[in-house]
């Protein structure tokens, strides 16, 4: 008997997962790929997340697919807006890093404007620092708080 495996933990077994390695805590479709939620004709809402190394604002390569999907969607839907939240872990929260959440957000905003020619006015930015953790700030889990969260939508 062979064990059924879901390596990325997204709920879709590896043998049918069309997007292996889906980042943690991303809404997926039945294929195992990041999903966009459709509301009405030409209305949508989608998410993008990226997690960072401690004290870094460099976007990791595994998150470019999500950002690229968002950029392409925004090119097609000129009424879409992106809201990006920047977060840091409590471990990163010191006087030298007060602007780290801003650097993370601005890095994503710059990527979207430079790569996909998205008007910067369509990208709204928010910097929360360590105020909104989603996980304990211990050594094992603090990486979950070192993140950006983006919501892309043309739904008012």
Say how many domains are in the chain. Answer: 1
The proportion of the chain whose per-residue pLDDT surpasses 70, expressed as a percent, equals 87
Please give the sequence-ordered ranges of beta strands (E in DSSP) within 28-155, or none if there are none. Answer: 36-38, 44-51, 81-87, 123-129, 147-153
In a domain, residue 16? The reply is: no
Tell me the two tokens of residue 28: 């997926």
**Total-model pTM:** 0.74
In a domain, residue 22? The reply is: no
pLDDT digits (tens, 9 = 90+) for 43-61: 778 889 999 999 999 999 9
CA nearest 74: which of 108, 33, 103, 24? 108
Query: What is the pLDDT, as a whole number, of residue 49?
Result: 92
Residue 48 near residue 70, CB atoms below 8 Å = yes
In a domain, residue 6? The reply is: no
In a domain, residue 30? The reply is: no
Residue 102's CATH number = 3.30.1330.60
pLDDT digits (tens, 9 = 90+) for 110-121: 999 999 999 999
CA angle 126, 127, 128 (to 5 degrees): 115
More confident residue, 4 or 45: 45
In a domain, residue 34? The reply is: no
CA nearest 48: which of 4, 6, 80, 79? 80
CA distance 116 to 119: 9
In a domain, residue 91? The reply is: yes
The parent domain of residue 122 ranges over 47-153
Residue 81 near residue 154, CB atoms below 8 Å = yes
In a domain, residue 31? The reply is: no
In a domain, residue 10? The reply is: no
Look at residue 138 and tell me whether its pLDDT is greater than 80: yes
């Amino acid at each position: 008997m062979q064990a059924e495996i879901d390596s990325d933990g997204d709920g879709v077994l590896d043998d049918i997962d069309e997007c292996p390695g889906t980042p943690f805590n991303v809404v997926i479709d039945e294929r195992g790929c990041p999903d966009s939620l459709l509301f009405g004709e030409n209305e949508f809402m989608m998410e993008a997340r990226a997690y960072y190394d401690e004290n870094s604002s460099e976007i990791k390569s595994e998150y470019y697919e999500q950002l690229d999907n968002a950029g392409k969607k925004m090119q097609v839907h000129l009424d879409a807006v992106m809201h990006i939240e920047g977060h840091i872990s409590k471990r990163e929260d010191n006087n030298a890093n007060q602007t780290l959440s801003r650097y993370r957000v601005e890095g994503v905003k710059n990527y979207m404007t430079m790569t996909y020619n998205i008007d910067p006015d369509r990208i709204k930015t928010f910097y929360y620092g360590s105020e909104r953790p989603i996980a304990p700030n211990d050594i094992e889990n603090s990486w979950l708080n070192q993140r950006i969260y983006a919501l892309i939508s043309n739904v008012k």
